[in-house]
Amino acid sequence: MALRLGDVAPNFTAETSEGKIDFYEYLGDGWGVLFSHPADYTPVCTTELGTVAKLKDEFAKRNTKVLALSVDGLESHKGWISDINETQNCTVNFPIIADEDKKVSSLYDMIHPNSNEKFTVRSVFVIGNDKKIKLIITYPASTGRNFDELLRVIDSLQLTANYSVATPANWKQGEDVVIAPAISNEEIPSKFPKGHKVVKPYLRTTPQPDL
């Protein structure tokens, strides 16, 4: 059965390029991004892993750890990491799961027969500090993932988890947010002392509350 938003992310142990890990222990009390790759030495994924390596500090600011997966083995991973570091001018600084038995791929429904019966699709799971799945995106092989967008989504997810707000289209850190419909007009001054604007009775905005 496919995983859905709000489901508890399945725990697992796996061999990785940085040793054996327990997924929950690796995440600790933080957030996580688990993202899969069809195989080692694939061109688009090479650029993606390099990009993530360069963004590790940005993920760390958000108390978020990244974890990649490919169905190839550890020796293959080591050679690929060397290529990634060379071609992307980076140092891969996070684990890549060696999922040769496809245990994790199956657990997270990463193998789609309509795409390929042997290799994982390019999935992304964002997992909250409650170990629940907050975001699922599946990309085609030809389109590189936008990790700036994933950082933006994590900002939104972490903000909306702590405040009764939602983020509008194309929202970025520091911009106004939408007050949740469940909040009455009478409650707004105490909950959002920075002020608010009523665009429509159902559309009320306020400055980002955690800044």
Active site residues: 45
DSSP, residue by residue, 145-211: --HHHHHHHHHHHHHHHHSSEE--TT--TTS-EEEPTTS-TTTHHHH-TT--EEEETTEEEE--TT-
Which H helix or E strand runs over 96? strand 96-98
CA distance to 17, 53, 116, per residue, from 4 (Å): 28, 28, 21
DSSP β-ladder status, 31-37 and 64-70: parallel
Residue 197 in contact with residue 205, Cβ under 8 Å? Answer: yes
Give just the sign of the alpha carbon dihedral 182, 185, 186, 190.
positive
- C-alpha dihedral (144, 41, 32, 148), degrees to nearest 10: -30
CB 168 within 8 A of CB 206: no
Q: Which two tokens stand for residue 16?
A: 């990785």
